[in-house]
Amino acid sequence: MAGRLGGDREELLSAANFARNASYTSCSSSFWKKMEPNFAPVNMEIIAYLKQLVKTIEDDQRCLSQMLCLQSDAPTML
């Protein structure tokens, strides 16, 4: 029975390696190599960075909006 388990393990390992290599070779074009980072797993550090980026953009938009409103309220000089 021990030989059978070892053989099953080897067969499973071989199938996993084949699937991994087939996936790599089938998606090896330059397009997919450029796209791969877009499908990478997202970790908590990236989420925190993106939240901060959104907050910064919202703050910038608010500030710009206030500046534009102040300029439109200012008297025009002719």
Residues 33 and 47 both lie in one domain: no
Indicate the pLDDT class of residue 13, thresholds 50, 70 and 90: confident
Residues 48 and 34 both lie in one domain: no
Residue 76 sits in which domain range?
41-78
Residues 34 and 50 both lie in one domain: no
Residues 53 and 29 both lie in one domain: no
Looking at the structure of the chain, the number of domains it has is 2
Tell me what pLDDT residue 1 has.
Answer: 47
With vertex at residue 52, the alpha carbon angle to CA 43 and CA 58, rounded to the nearest 5 degrees, is: 140
Mean pLDDT lowest for which of 31-35, 46-50, 53-57, 64-68? 31-35
Residues 33 and 52 both lie in one domain: no
Identify the sign of the CA torsion 50, 54, 57, 59: negative
Residues 29 and 46 both lie in one domain: no
Tell me what pLDDT residue 5 has.
Answer: 58
Q: Which residue has the tokens 């030989």?
A: 3
